[in-house]
Structure formats: C-alpha cells, structure tokens
Amino acid sequence: EKMQELCKDMPGVSVEFDGHVPHIGVVKTGCQGICELGPLMRIEPLHYQYVKVQMDDCEEIFKRTVLNKEPVERLFYKKGEDSFPTPDDIPFIAKQTRITLENCGRFDAESLDEYIASGGYNALSKAIFDMSPRDVIEEVDKSGLRGRGGGGFPTGKKWKQVAAHTDVKEHYVVCNGDEGDPGAFMDGSVMEGDPYRLIEGMTIAAYAVNAQDGYIYVRAEYPLSVERLTHAIAQAEEKGLLGDNILGTDFCFHMHINRGAGAFVCGEGSALTASIEGDRGMPRVKPPRTVDQGLWAKPTVLNNVETFANVPGIVMKGADWFRTIGTEGSPGTKTFSITGSIENTGLIEVPMGTTLREMIYDIGGGIKGGGEFKAVQIGGPSGGCLTAEHLDVGLDFDSVKKYDAIMGSGGLVVMDENTCMVEVARFFMSFTQRESCGKCVPCREGTKRMLEILERIVDGKGVIEDLDTLEELAAMVKNMALCGLGKSAPLPVISTLKTFRNEYEEHILDHK
Ligand code: SF4
C-alpha cells in the first residue's frame, strides 16, 4: 500500500526500461513461499528480489530502484561478487521444481490476462478442440497423477468411474480446499496465488466427466482465497471460459464457492459433500462411494486443489512429460509447507521421491540455530513421525506408509533435539480428539481415552501399564473408526511409541 501510494503521488513519471516505458505500479501476487525472508518485493523487469522489506524502505526503493534502476544493496538476500541474485538464485527457490506453484508469487493473482499471456487456458482449449473427453481421462490416467489430498488414489481411475455413469445426467466436480491441518497452507497458496490454474483444471475435469456444475469448498480461514476465486470465476465467465457455451461450444460448466465453517472433519469426502448440501458435515459409511453417489447422490469427482492444479500441465505437455518427474509409483511433484525448528520456513514444491534431507537441509537451510534434527511430523495431526533414520528415504505415497506415516496433504513440522515426543503426541491427539465428529464410538471414545492417558503421562502421573493400553487403544481406533480422521488419529502415538518409547518411560519412571 505504501508503494502504491508513492507511485500514485508521482503522476506522469515515465521511466524507460530497455526501450520500453512501462506502467509503474504495484501488483499483489500470491505467496512466493519464502516465509522466513518476508515481506518480499520483486522489482520487474529488473528481476530484483528484495527481502525483509520494511515500511521505511519503500521511499528509497521507489526513488533509487523504480525511478533510477539502482539496487538497494542491503535488501538483497545475499549480494554476489558482481551481481545481485534474482528470485530464482535464492537456494530455497532454485532447488524446487514448481508446477502447481509455477505462477505463485510471480504474477498478478487477479489478472486473467496475465494468466492467459503465460499460456493459461491453452490446456482447456486443447482438451475441448483436440481431444475427446475419453482422451483427456486417458491422458490423466497415463500420467499416473494421484490425489494430492492425502489418499493418493489414482485421479484418472476416479474420473473414469464418474464418466462411466452415462445413465445419470448430473455429474459434479468438487474441489476440496478445506486444508485443515495445523501448519499447512499449500492449497491456500494456490487458491490465492493462481486461482485460474485451479479453475482451468476443474473445467477440464468437468469436460472429461461431463459435469455441469463444480463446487470449491474453501476453508473458513481463507477469506483471500474466496475473494480471488470469486474474482477469477467472474473474469472467466466474462471471457467465455466458464459458464454457458464455453469457447463457443455447447460445453457448459458453472462454478460455485462454498465456505467451510472450520470443522476439520469436513476435509473428509462424504462430510464435505454433506456440508455443501447444507447438512451437518459428518462422514457416512461407504459404499456408496463418492464416484457413484457423491454430491446430491450423483456421480462426483472429488479432488483437492493441488490435484486439479496439476491437470492443465498434464493436458498441455502430456502424460510422458509428467512421468519424467517424481517416481514410478508417484509421478509429478508434491507441495509441502515446512514449519517448526527449521531455518527457512515456507512453502516448497519438489519432485516426489525427494528425500527429507534435501528438503530440510538443502532447501530449508537446516535446523534452526544449528540444532540437531530429531523428527518430522508428516501428514498433519493424524500423520506420523519420521526420524533421522528416514532422512535419506525418498518420500512418496508408498514409501511413507512403510513407516506408519502418511503423506497427507503435505504439512511438515520439523522438530529438534529439544522436542518432547510425548508432548508432540499429546498435542496432535488433543487436536484430533477435539475435531472428532462423534459419530462412531471407536473414534469418539477411543481418542478421548488415549488423550486422557497421554495427559496423565505428560503430567507425570502415568504408570508403565498405560503404554500397553495406549497401544491397544491405538490399534482399535485405527482398525474400527468409520472415516479417515479416526483411522489415522492414532498414528502420531503409534509412531512415537515405536521410536521414542524411552521418552514415554522416562516421563513415567522419573516421577516415581
Ligand atoms: Fe466422526 Fe471420528 Fe467416526 Fe470419523 S472416525 S465419523 S470423525 S467419530
């Protein structure tokens, strides 16, 4: 706002850049991912990336850089020998492979023209004019894209199952933008930073499965996502890219936004569709599956933001291109939010199969203050802990499962040697217990009993037999809970008990 004010206060200023006289102004982008170095400011077309910009710096930036093309040395990440690093020279960015985050932080998140100028909507045009719906599904299937919301179910297979319901007229496409994991902000960053990519991906999905309506279910705490998506939908409708007769054809697709109300369980598919229908967001017994009877009991494609954001690239560049990135079983990239005891917290996108060591040390800059790595919580509150012995394991959907963890939507909370793992397990259990919808007994009662025991142990009032009870309860909840929230709620306890049992014992025995 300060920069905007400065630009406005100097009307008639024209500065020549390489023979052009550009418009001088301020553009609000989405998240660039480097939280630790914010507030950030890019100066284009000079490719200057200023970091940790303060209000007092604005006047100097305007006078020296905007008007005279001079660098403000102290605001660069690190000055090189004879040059200043561009945004892509910062190791945090340079070591990533960005597909879904490609435009985030680079473009005006409210300009459809900018999205189109960068190749946006070419994929939709290709799908509609050069491919049949079946071709699109085949390409997505061939790419091996798996749902990025956590389950890793093959996206092409899901679309095929919905498209197969040719006897039902109404089909729906629903996007899960509920992202409720503490510390996770990947999907929010795509919705805020590049809403057009998500909308294009959903529109391609609608074309493929013959859906007429689409819904984006946005987390209650993401007002900017709602604002930018609303704006992007209106612009797309105006340009004939959404709504009736898309690109002059008889393909019609209308999009709607639903705001969540802050319930973590609404990230579960059947609870999410119930919430859109206006009912209480509670999971139901499956089958019927969402692909057969989802929203309003009609065949429904339900994917998360990141999954849809991958679709335009796959349609445009092809399944073979997508398969050159990532691993055989999990092609493509994965976005992660890295938080906790790490030097560079932020948002990253890396090929599937990237090791924790690369993420934490090469991109994340290592443990805060040079500390020692102890563990990372992966997959949100109901994920699991990976430890030093897993630092060199390539992470993908299948590899993490072997260690009693899940990929989840991609939240990584890094912990150093000073972290008490029993406290970590208690913290995550208190979260899932609070968010349990209460519909089924194993989750409603089981998580409560587990939390009571964990609190007792943390308070120094536990007994050694509690550990066996915890294990029994964890197995019971994991096997008998109705939905994914309950089934995965005990994972932090299971994985910490397995690797850090000594810490549980110390809590108990030290207070004897
Ligand atoms: Fe509700 Fe938990 Fe049962 Fe899921 S597992 S339906 S959240 S009580």
Ligand 1 pocket check for 441: Cβ under 6 Å? no
pLDDT at residue 203 greater than cutoff 80: yes
For ligand 1, the distance from its centroid to the CA atom of residue 435, given in whole angstroms, is 9
Residue 279 within a domain? yes
Question: Is-contact 87 163, C-beta < 8 A?
Answer: no
End position of a domain, from candidates 302, 323, 344 = 323
Ligand 1 pocket check for 241: Cβ under 6 Å? no
For ligand 1, the distance from its centroid to the CA atom of residue 280, given in whole angstroms, is 13
Ligand 1 pocket check for 305: Cβ under 6 Å? no
pLDDT at residue 410 greater than cutoff 70: yes
User: Domain containing 383 — which CATH number?
Assistant: 3.10.20.600
Ligand 1 pocket check for 444: Cβ under 6 Å? yes
Nearest-atom number in ligand 1 for the CA of 436 is 7
Residue from 93, 122, 108, 134 nearest 27 by CA? 108
- pLDDT over 70 percentage in the chain: 96
* Same domain? 40 vs 144: no
Residue 159 within a domain? yes
pLDDT at residue 9 in the model: 60
DSSP H or E run through 348: strand 346-351
Q: What are the backbone dihedrals phi and psi of residue 276, each rounded to the nearest 5 degrees, phi first?
A: -60, -35
Q: What is the value of pTM for the model shown?
A: 0.93
Question: Is-contact 307 186, C-beta < 8 A?
Answer: no
Based on the structure, what is the number of domains in the chain?
4
* Same domain? 196 vs 297: yes
Ligand 1 pocket check for 439: Cβ under 6 Å? yes
User: Domain containing 440 — which CATH number?
Assistant: 1.20.1440.230
- 3-class state of residue 301 by DSSP: strand
pLDDT at residue 129 greater than cutoff 70: yes
* Same domain? 151 vs 224: yes
Residue 105 within a domain? no
Ligand 1 pocket check for 280: Cβ under 6 Å? no
| Mean pLDDT of all residues belonging to the chain | 91
pLDDT at residue 512 in the model: 64
pLDDT at residue 273 greater than cutoff 70: yes
* Same domain? 276 vs 224: yes
Residue from 318, 306, 303, 312 nearest 154 by CA? 303
pLDDT at residue 79 in the model: 61
pLDDT digits (tens, 9 = 90+) for 22-57: 567 788 888 888 888 889 998 888 888 899 999 999
ipTM over 0.95: yes
Nearest-atom number in ligand 1 for the CA of 265 is 7
* Same domain? 298 vs 442: no
pLDDT digits (tens, 9 = 90+) for 475-509: 999 999 999 899 989 988 998 999 999 999 999 99
User: Cα–Cα distances in Å, from 323 out to 3, 212, 352?
Assistant: 43, 30, 11
pLDDT at residue 30 in the model: 86
pLDDT at residue 122 greater than cutoff 60: yes
pLDDT at residue 20 greater than cutoff 60: no
* Same domain? 302 vs 344: no
Instruction: Average the pLDDT over 103-118 and give the result.
Output: 91
Joined together, the tokens standing for residue 36 give 């630790």
pLDDT at residue 116 in the model: 96
User: Domain containing 157 — which CATH number?
Assistant: 3.40.50.11540
Residue 427 within a domain? yes
pLDDT at residue 182 in the model: 77
pLDDT at residue 111 in the model: 92
Residue among 268, 441, 479, 482 whose CB has most ligand 1 atoms within 8 A, to mutate: 482
- 3-class state of residue 15 by DSSP: coil
Residue 35 within a domain? yes
For ligand 1, the distance from its centroid to the CA atom of residue 252, given in whole angstroms, is 37
Residue 497 within a domain? yes
pLDDT at residue 261 in the model: 85
* Same domain? 285 vs 383: no
Joined together, the tokens standing for residue 253 give 């697709």
pLDDT at residue 83 greater than cutoff 60: yes
In the block, tokens 């993420």 appear at 359
* Same domain? 443 vs 495: yes
- 3-class state of residue 338 by DSSP: strand
Ligand 1 pocket check for 266: Cβ under 6 Å? no
* Same domain? 428 vs 350: no
* Same domain? 297 vs 155: yes
d(CA 463, CA 456): 9
Ligand 1 pocket check for 126: Cβ under 6 Å? no
Instruction: Average the pLDDT over 83-105 and give the result.
Output: 85
For ligand 1, the distance from its centroid to the CA atom of residue 410, given in whole angstroms, is 22
User: Domain containing 19 — which CATH number?
Assistant: 3.40.30
For ligand 1, the distance from its centroid to the CA atom of residue 421, given in whole angstroms, is 25
- Atom 5 of ligand 1: nearest residue by CA position: 486
The more confident residue out of 301 and 5 is 301
pLDDT at residue 21 greater than cutoff 60: no
pLDDT at residue 476 in the model: 97
* Same domain? 341 vs 485: no
In the block, tokens 């709620």 appear at 489
End position of a domain, from candidates 276, 296, 323 = 323
For ligand 1, the distance from its centroid to the CA atom of residue 441, given in whole angstroms, is 8
pLDDT digits (tens, 9 = 90+) for 413-425: 999 999 999 999 9
End position of a domain, from candidates 298, 323, 348 = 323
Ligand 1 pocket check for 437: Cβ under 6 Å? yes
Structural domain boundaries enclosing 45: 2-90
pLDDT at residue 185 greater than cutoff 90: no
Question: Is-contact 174 272, C-beta < 8 A?
Answer: yes
Residue 15's pLDDT band, with cuts at 50, 70 and 90, is low
For ligand 1, the distance from its centroid to the CA atom of residue 285, given in whole angstroms, is 10
For ligand 1, the distance from its centroid to the CA atom of residue 83, given in whole angstroms, is 56
* Same domain? 180 vs 269: yes
pLDDT digits (tens, 9 = 90+) for 232-260: 999 999 999 999 999 999 999 999 999 99
Residue among 279, 435, 437 whose CB has most ligand 1 atoms within 8 A, to mutate: 437
Question: Is-contact 310 145, C-beta < 8 A?
Answer: yes
For ligand 1, the distance from its centroid to the CA atom of residue 473, given in whole angstroms, is 15
Nearest-atom number in ligand 1 for the CA of 444 is 8
Residue 102 within a domain? no
Residue 412 within a domain? yes
pLDDT at residue 189 greater than cutoff 70: yes
pLDDT at residue 388 greater than cutoff 70: yes
- Atom 1 of ligand 1: nearest residue by CA position: 437
